[in-house]
């Protein structure tokens, strides 16, 4: 069984070069919601008052993702943020806190995290962690998502024979 990474655990991790230089901090994981393809990361400046940066890290430039840092060859691999995710996509398309609804409209809870499979090269988004209002946590596989809007994640209804 594959141990999944929680995208939320990567937020705030340092981005370091192979030479040990701290370049930035990971802000957000950017992925294609239909395919699960990991596109890269947006960045913050390091430190408590770090601000969002105008550059980003494309997934192809990642040397490694560990428990304590994301590693790259050096600062030269960073690109303008629009090369990883355009401005329209950055506005209002965060899936965290999206309400999860069935096709019939039943409210199942909210998205609390995104799950990555590190055995893929590069890592791939495989699902969403959902917490119901009564505190139960379940995983919704990426393939089960009917639609994701930045406000709602729609999944098949309970009457669907496949689920």
Tens digit of each residue's pLDDT (9 = 90 or more) over 70-85? 999 999 999 999 999 8
The answer to whether 128 and 140 have CB atoms below 8 angstroms apart is yes
Distance, in Å, from the CA atom of 93 to the CA atom of 150, rounded to the nearest integer, reads: 4
Distance, in Å, from the CA atom of 85 to the CA atom of 144, rounded to the nearest integer, reads: 24
Going from N- to C-terminal start, the domains of the chain cover 5-90, 99-155
Reported as type and span, the H/E element at residue 8 is helix 7-10
CATH architecture of the domain covering 99-155: Alpha-Beta Complex (3.90)
Residue 163 pLDDT more than 50?
A: no
Distance, in Å, from the CA atom of 16 to the CA atom of 21, rounded to the nearest integer, reads: 5
Topology (CATH level 3) of domain 5-90: SH3 type barrels. (2.30.30)
Instruction: Output the pTM of the full model.
Output: 0.84
- Residue 62's pLDDT band, with cuts at 50, 70 and 90, is very high
Q: Which of 54-63, 69-78, 113-122 has the lowest mean pLDDT?
A: 113-122
């Amino acid at each position: 069984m594959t141990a999944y990474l929680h995208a939320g655990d990567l937020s705030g991790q340092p981005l370091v070069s192979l030479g040990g230089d701290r370049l930035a901090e990971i802000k957000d994981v950017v992925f294609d919601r239909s395919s699960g393809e990991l596109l890269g990361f947006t960045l913050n400046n390091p430190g408590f008052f770090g601000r969002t940066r105008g550059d980003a890290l494309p997934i192809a430039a990642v040397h490694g993702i560990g428990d304590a840092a994301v590693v790259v060859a050096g600062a030269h691999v960073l690109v303008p943020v629009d090369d990883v995710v355009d401005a329209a996509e950055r506005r209002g398309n965060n899936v965290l806190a999206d309400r999860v609804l069935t096709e019939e409209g039943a409210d199942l809870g909210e998205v609390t995290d995104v799950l990555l499979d590190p055995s893929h090269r590069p890592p791939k988004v495989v699902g969403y962690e959902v917490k119901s209002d009564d505190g139960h946590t379940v995983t919704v596989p990426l393939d089960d998502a009917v639609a994701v809007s930045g406000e709602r994640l729609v999944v098949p209804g309970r009457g669907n024979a496949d689920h």
